[in-house]
Structure 1
Amino acid sequence: MWRFLQLRGYIDEKHQLTSWGLCLEKALATLDPGDELEEATFIAIELLRFDLLNAKHWFSHLSGGPMRGSDTEDEDKVFNMLVSRVACIGKLRHKSIGYSGPLSRQLLCYRSLVSEVRSALRDLIEVVLAGMLLSGDVDRDRKDWAELSVKLPFIDDNDCGLGIAVRTYLDDLPAQGELTLPEARAEVKSKGKDWFQHSDSFTGNLDKAFKLWDAVYKATQNAGKEFKEAKQWEGVNNWLANRR
């Protein structure tokens, strides 16, 4: 892992954290280990570095984007899309019978970007391990080859179900009138069982998505001067605070 982090620029040759390493440390410090969001947070930071985690209108010709908003409708749609894209990096807790729920071509396309980054990270860490084995830097007289592969991170592909859940929730809130009231949020959350009939818990999935948002938001606020969108993320975080 240290060699992998050095290749990705999170630590230097002296094993000291770089600016992105400090950013990663701040983000991971916000997480509860029981939520198992560390990999998703790491992938999110990689997407930030590649300028792939933002609210740019890449797939506006496709269906499934946010549709509703208040009198600041365009802003609401942009903010909803950013929060939903962050959620796409996580995974919807769902019964193992196949996904059932709303669809979104926009988020499905975005999921493909997330998947490509995750796959590249998986390839890199496999190459790091192979290099260490070939060079004799680690013990090669072992019987746990299968376990070695399974224990490496980034093995499981992501889905866009959690992103769709967040987009659906935030999109339905404006229909409740005073959308920032606790009663309005509770009313929309109660509909989750109808939208996602086989999810473990709609409210639990939203909570997981918002915990991931908190970690990624923390990263954006500690990303250093090279990251130019920290102010926009702060605005989205303030917008989300009364809606979650």
Structure 2
Amino acid sequence: MLLPWVCQSHVKSNRPQLLTTQDEILANVYWRFLQLRGYIDEKHQLTPWGVCLEQALSGLDPVDSLEEATFLAIEMIRFGLLNSKQWFSHVSGGPMRGSDEDKSFNMLVSRVACIAKLQHKSIGYSGPLSRQLLCYRSLISEVRSTLRNLIEVVLAGLLLSGDAERDRKDWGELSAKLPFIDDNDCGLGIAVRTYLDDLPLQADPTSPEARAEVKAKGKEWFQHSDSFTGNLDMAFKLWDAVYRASQNAGWEFKDSSKWEEANRWLAARR
């Protein structure tokens, strides 16, 4: 027997302006989610963080599917979690070579790369390890799962409030199309850290010859990756998007100059 509130929550089919299609429902969920997270205000205008997000996404190629990773990176910035602070200095796997500045910038770029995924053959991971980046991956995973919970709550609220048609058979499809469903790994971050950490061994780390030589080693380090250089390119595309976000972030973000320095450092090594 149904509980009384369940019976009362039934939506009449003749209710006007009822959301029915998946596209309508998902668009409404995204809009409400962005408003809850402070990217859109009550007047449906972009907030400063909304402008930051728009700038970050504007340069992405949809083929690369980096929109979700970029959004997650901005959330990490807002939580004060995306930086080069030495949170896990008691474990191994951080940058080892170069100056303190080299190590700091390497850590920042590698942490950004951790938010995306290493393109790897469908077998177990084979390559270098990093306990530091594995620890950092746990922070990303917590933020991602929290955002997933929130957007599911938004969808549930929309349905319970009677704003969308509930007599449907595509519940699984609706859930699968919501973002933040796939957990992240730290493989791409390890690839970037390994590449940048090997450059200081070269006579001129910023020369085209040195970069090409180190990239050629990638096949030995990551034998089952689809393409080591392709993975690096993907990581640097994500960096570009997140860097744009850092330069257009809200007033409370105080590290834009540090990101600018890191971007100049990376430009000579990518």
- Please indicate the TM-score interval, normalised by the length of the shorter structure: over 0.9
TM-score norm. by structure 2 comes to 0.89
Letter of the 2:105 counterpart: F
Q: Name the residue aligned to 1:198.
A: 224
- One of 39, 53, 68 as aligned partner of 1:10: 39
State the 1:165 CA deviation: 0.1
Q: Name the residue aligned to 1:182.
A: 208
Q: Name the residue aligned to 1:135.
A: 161
State the 1:25 CA deviation: 0.1
Q: Name the residue aligned to 1:63.
A: 92
CA–CA separation in structure 1 for the residues paired with 2:130 and 2:244 = 27
CA–CA separation in structure 2 for the residues paired with 1:102 and 1:145 = 40
Q: Name the residue aligned to 1:45.
A: 74
Task: Work out whether 1:88 is the aligned partner of 2:117.
Answer: no
CA–CA separation in structure 2 for the residues paired with 1:98 and 1:45 = 30
Task: Work out whether 1:28 is the aligned partner of 2:57.
Answer: yes
In the alignment, structure 1 segments of 5+ residues that lack a partner are: none
Spell out structure 1 runs of 4+ moving beyond 3 A.
none
- One of 165, 185, 190 as aligned partner of 1:164: 190
State the 1:30 CA deviation: 1.2
Q: Name the residue aligned to 1:126.
A: 152
Letter of the 1:178 counterpart: D
Overall identity of the aligned pairs, in %: 81
Task: Work out whether 1:214 is the aligned partner of 2:240.
Answer: yes
CA–CA separation in structure 1 for the residues paired with 2:250 and 2:59 = 18
Q: Name the residue aligned to 2:170.
A: 144
How many residue pairs end up in the alignment?
241
Task: Work out whether 1:173 is the aligned partner of 2:186.
Answer: no
State the 1:101 CA deviation: 0.3
CA–CA separation in structure 1 for the residues paired with 2:207 and 2:111 = 25
Secondary structure in 1 aligned to 2:168? coil
RMSD: 0.5
Rg larger in 1 or in 2?
A: 2
State the 1:14 CA deviation: 1.2
Letter of the 1:66 counterpart: P
Task: Work out whether 1:113 is the aligned partner of 2:142.
Answer: no
